[in-house]
Structure 1
């Protein structure tokens, strides 16, 4: 539970809260709502490095000081509760799917990513119009990749995309899936279109026209592509959960201030019993969501199998966030529906959380399968 954090962890939280108030909040007042200037980003990164937060997501071999899952969960929830896009620049880049890269793959992709010189994207999903999943045929020391990927987040700014590909031998025989690092500047890579989703994220659809990719760009081994793509999904879902509960904390505080403020009727809204009932429901749900979040973080840090628990937590926390933001809009009233209002933006963001990193109903199906077919999962 949040209140059972160690004294050392609470001290780190206090330092993180000071970072928000002393660095993020002043810069937030100077920044544009929609874009973050390069000098502001660089100032946050420099301050984060001085305070040591930047290195908490980086392996020791790259000069990092990696934090445990509980600490990262605590900090991610705190960053989210600040309700500022500037918090995206506090943590340094992590190795992600490239964490075990060696040789040329490490030199050309992982090392530049960790130095902040290259940016990667993740190509997993085909568009509904694709005739077949993205495939690659072995051709000597290369793989010729053809197909399409959509919803490649950050693809327009990426230097390369880590892509899930179905591999075939020279005769068309199936060899299984593989993850390949494909340069966005490679001949045959075409950005078909750029688009944004409702919460503001930018995506691209990519076409691969017989793109020649060196065999050394295979991340891991051929035949292990899907497990490689999903190996860190539990931690990512826990990150989404922390983002959701952090959003809830911010919303609860916003609503509390609104309910205590003077009202045109002469009586603060918070004095009305019906309003208090709805506000109480919001607090109850957030309390339960945070309890689930920290329990699952402890389970994940212990090294236990947490596949079902991280899925359950992601479902619950993101759906609580949706209900909490929805009720906040109801209590604040029509002004919260106006484009540009902080709750209007939060409403769009909260809705997206139920789809990213595994649609909630698909996760529900996997949860049931884990219990009924495999006997897995904790309560």
Structure 2
């Protein structure tokens, strides 16, 4: 027979198994509650830091700073939060304040960011308010650092934008100066061309006519007839050279008919190679500045082909695409513009010519590409928009 202890029958707890909640486990429960409260406090501080970071990332600093200051005041139990911005060069420091102290004589500084920081944060509240412990102070220091970083980033962005604006203004001023220089060059070319036409060319032509007349009057039997014929031939060559120089300086077709007509005249004068000209007549209606610049680029490229390429064929295309852009292509089958020839090209001045072509096209917002053609040689491609004139001829 099994004997059951009386304590079990009566409902009393067995001897030695009593559960005393007041003594055995009280320290453990209190410690767990303290740890739980500390974990909640740390989580709240972390959430506060993350919220401030998100707010500063989502809005401009000037917009986010007052909201951050308000939250800082609430977090620390302060009546007022003040933020002093570091001064820019030549400017005074800027102060931003949120909240108002009700009794300034009874207030004290609850928190101030560390000295030497780029941005100073101060929290002011009642001297009898709750004290800010070390963990809260560390949180405030982190948020102050976030404010300083956001302020610095905002100012760096503003400084970068200001520098970009200055750079753009300088670029515009440089473009205007280059435009004035090119305009002055064109005016000087036109003046020299007129002077040559009205001066030296007329004198050379008159000399040629006089010599021819003199040769006709003295007759074939005269001893000086061969010498006079030779002088007359030299005078005719001088007239031809002067007219060619005048055409290079300022072709009359460029002013009277347009860039396509001027280029066609230039190409018709080329001897010793096959010339293929695909010139859209619509280019003659381009703005005057565009026509002048494209003619000068083509002139420089054609001159380089004639002097340096040793080409047998030259192709020149001039047209406008559907996007309203002007195009020029100068293609030859000569030696090309490889690395091996670059020192010679630089000595001959072609490098300067390429720079000049780029500068002229840049005035129109255009560009130039120089490379190897499909069958060797050199291919020069220029393109520029046709919206507006950049320089006046």
Q: For the superposition of Structure 1 and Structure 2, which TM-score range results when normalised by the shorter chain?
A: under 0.3
Higher relative contact order (CA 8 A, sep 6+): 1
* Structure number having the greater helix percentage: 2
What is the TM-score with the length of structure 1 in the denominator? 0.22
